[in-house]
Structure formats: C-alpha cells, structure tokens
Amino acid sequence: MDIQLCDCLSRENILFEVGATSRDDALIRLVDQLAKTKDGFDEAAAGQALKEREAVLPTVIAPGVALPHARLDALEKPLVAIGTTRQGIVFDEDKDPVNLILLVLTPKIDPSAYLRILSMLSSILKDVDVPTFVSGATIDDIYELFKAEEKFVDYLTAGDVMNSEPITLLEGDTLNKAISTLCSRRVLDIPVVDEEGDLRGVIGMEDLLRQSLPQHLLWMEDLTPILRFEPFAEMMKKDQETKLADFMSEDYVSVPPDTPAVQLAKVFLMSQARQIQVLDGRKLVGVVDLGGFSTKLFWA
C-alpha cells in the first residue's frame, strides 16, 4: 500500500488546542474526532488499544512530541489525527510535557504502514523546535507543515529503522568502562568507534566472558579448580589497564543506510546477529538491534 500523509490526514482532524489535561483524555478526544470524520474502525477498541500501549511504553519520540499509535483489525487505510497544546500534557513522567500529539491508526495487516508514517513524520519534524513552533502556530501552519507531498516514503530502509544515536564506546576506553556501560545500560552489544566516528569493532557480553576464561580453560571438562571464579577475579584486577582495542571483536555485521529494511530480517536470521551496524563508508551512522527491529515490526 502506497502511503502519503495527505491521504491519511485531513484538516478537520487537527484539534488545535486539544483542550485536554491528561494523556488519556487527549487520546479519547482525538479518536472521537477521527470517528466523526472517518468510517471503518472500532472507536472503543482504538481508544483501549492506545491507552494500553501508552501504559506499557509511553510514545514520546522527541522533545515536545508524542506519537500514540495502534494497529487495528478491519481498518482499511492509515488514519492520522493531530492535537496541539501550548500548556503541554504529560505522556511520560520522566520526560517534559508534550505540545504536539500525532495519533496514528494503521491496519494490522500492513506491518510497515506505521513505520513508514513514522519515518515521514520524523523527517518533517527533524529541524522543528516543536514547543516553540506550537506556541506561535495557527491551525493552517500545522496543516501546511504536514501535508507536503514530497514527504512520501516508498519503502523503508535501514536508515529509517535504525537507532541514529546508539550507545558507543571508544577504542581507547577501558574494560572497566565497558563493564559499567554494558551492565548499567542493560545492553548486550556496543559498537566501538575511533575519535572520527569510524567503526573499529564491537564489544559484547560474550567478550567479557572470553576475557575471563582463556581458551585453554574452555577445554577443561572439570572446572572445580576455579569454582571461586578465580580467572574472573584476575581479569577484574586489570580492568583499569585493559583497553577495548585489545579484545573487542572485529567480527560484526554491517549494512549501508539505503539497505531495504525488509532485508534486515534476512540478515538477522542468516547471521544470527543481535545487532546490525549501519555504516556510511566506515562511519557508524546507527545500529539496528534485533529486539528493537522486531518490536517495531510486530508491535511498535
């Protein structure tokens, strides 16, 4: 299904100063507005799906912007409603209030619809200071911003679905920092770059184990001589001295940004990688994690 924002969004579905004081109230008002102007979806089911999704993981995607969304059965095409609020509404207790709410409903049978709309909306807003824009905008300003035909996305690429601000480490960082970052950020893999941002390798949890258990120990049938994790203790004694460049893995999977996103599914399955590095030449421009990619594809 080809998707253009002008087909999903009409001027009447922009609620200028939505008039809500809570997240759930704003969602209800936007769904009600869509129901008044568009047939073909279950209003109650849409409202419930949106609220459940927000309760699990709030959809604040940028400062001042929330993108609540749901995939619905029996919906024929994507629908978009927009709400603005100068006062701001809290969507996530850990983040600032949002001033722009972009509500998206997509057909359950079209897995890429939400991702393509998200890509278009993100492209439109990438250079916009949303709180400042909303504070002085009219409803016409908002409609003109989002209706531009040139924001059409034919198909998704790795650049559309990647995390463009991944956690990274420098090749000169220490083992101590790698341990701290992997554990505190609860990630399994971290790209390692040089000062210019070129990818040099990847550090993963397995690399920490390999550093602790030399190859000859792996061949031992009986590990009772090291029941107290003695090799691990030895590694930790040198964690401030050991540099990532000395033991990071240079065996990683990479693709260029223009790789079709559907190709990533094959890459994950064929390589059994957890993370794909997105490279422009040697420069790291983003990463696609298996968990994040699957979540966006199946649940978003």
Q: Which of 191, 296, 289 minimizes the C-alpha distance to 249?
A: 191
Separation CA 292–CA 297 (nearest Å) = 9
Measure the CA dihedral 21/26/28/29, to 10°.
100
Q: Which of 128, 52, 40 minimizes the C-alpha distance to 84?
A: 128
Question: In the numeric block, which tokens belong to residue 244?
Answer: 């990532």
User: Taking the domains of the chain in order of start, what are their residue ranges?
Assistant: 5-154, 169-298
pLDDT of 228 reads: 62
pLDDT of 67 reads: 96
Fold matches, 5-154 and 169-298:
no
pLDDT of 92 reads: 93
Please state the pTM of the whole predicted model: 0.81
pLDDT of 218 reads: 62
Q: If one looks up domain 169-298 in CATH, what number appears?
A: 3.10.580.10
pLDDT of 45 reads: 92
pLDDT of 31 reads: 96
CATH 3.40.930.10 correct for 5-154: yes
**CA distances, 63 to each of 52, 85, 100, 111 (Å):** 22, 14, 10, 26
pLDDT of 11 reads: 92
First to last CA, the chain: 19
Low-confidence ranges of the chain (pLDDT < 70): 1-2, 148-153, 214-220, 223, 225-231, 300
Instruction: Give per-residue pLDDT as tens, 215-254.
Output: 656 666 776 766 566 667 777 788 898 999 988 999 999 9
Q: Which of 159, 99, 89, 155 minimizes the C-alpha distance to 128?
A: 99
pLDDT of 297 reads: 85
Contact 70, 50 (CB under 8 A): yes
Q: Which of 259, 260, 74, 278 minimizes the C-alpha distance to 162?
A: 278
Instruction: Give per-residue pLDDT as tens, 163-185.
Output: 999 999 999 999 999 999 999 99
Amino acid at 279: L
pLDDT of 173 reads: 97
The greatest distance separating any two alpha carbons of the chain, rounded to the nearest whole angstrom, comes to 75
Separation CA 170–CA 195 (nearest Å) = 7
